[in-house]
Structure 1
Amino acid sequence: MQNYTEIPSSSTLSDSLSQILNNDKTAISCNSGTTFPTTSVQIGMLCYRTDQLKLYQLIGTNPDNWRFIMDLANGIDAQFAAKLNAASYTAADVLAKLLTVDGAGTGLDADLLDGQHASAFASSTHNHNAAYLGITAKATDADKLDGYDSTAFVRSVNGAGPDAAGNATVNIDLSSRVAK
């Protein structure tokens, strides 16, 4: 039987060679044998019972408490199949099960985008042209500023602009506009 053995620091290397090799085998392959180890046990250690073909893990001491993990006498596939029978799970069945837990707060809001339903977004075929300007359309008052035509504003002519006080001198020839 493989079993971990504590090696006293007073032992010489040559005297403890067989114990070291046994400990290495135990560490590599878990503890194994027809009985559970009773000395130098550590919580979490595994033991493969060769007489039962079962794997156990130590979960407590005083008294030692070994928890059954797996029966290797039966195929592992058979054990998983008993828990999850793939033949009874069709795509429709899986979908039905998912839909029972779908919705806000479940983490499965597959019908939402950033928490918003699809009705909150424009579809890929949506067209704003009826209510808004199209991509190639021109606004009817595009040549206006705040609804005013350009003739309503004073502009700088030949670089003459307002002075520091904000006043501008504009030379205007009104002779052509004065009625004769």
Structure 2
Amino acid sequence: MLDEIIQELRKNLKKAVVKNRAEGLLFSGGLDSAILAYLCPGIKTITVTLDSFGEDLKYARFLARSCRLKHYHRLVTVEEAIDAIPEVIKILKSFDPAIPNDIPVYFGLKFAKDLGIKTVMTGDGSDELFAGYSYMQGIPDLGGYIRRISSSMYFSSNILGDFFNIKIKQPYIDKE
């Protein structure tokens, strides 16, 4: 039974990736973006880090090299991140409590635009759909919870992409 579910998931994700093909990938080096990188030969990967290289960059570089992908890195200083907050709030037209998560997306998409990339894939929705957050482990009706949140998920990458005139592709939340 589990093997059948895994095979169905693999088949559907491959179809969603083909349908949502993009020139670039916002690439943290985590599981969700690593799977997309593996499934997208030739995609340009973009990693944004704050003020230090940290662990994300190490894994992103390793995975991009392993998949033979062009990898771009944008180092954002704390000053740049703080200076970008008012613009991100203006673009989103609200003060998103998740603004610390929105800042790397903002810089990643801005960098993609500077590189001439017009379509960018994200891993949006994977943590929500596959219970990737630690708080989800204790939810009694996890399937019901995931169904509820999946009907109203919102990701700032769509609005930020519109601002930079970049089409955002989100294979994990593709309706098919």
- The structure number with the bigger radius of gyration is 1
Question: Which has a greater percent of helix?
Answer: 2
**Which is bigger in relative contact order (C-alpha 8 A, separation at least 6)?**
2
TM-score normalised by structure 1 residue count? 0.20
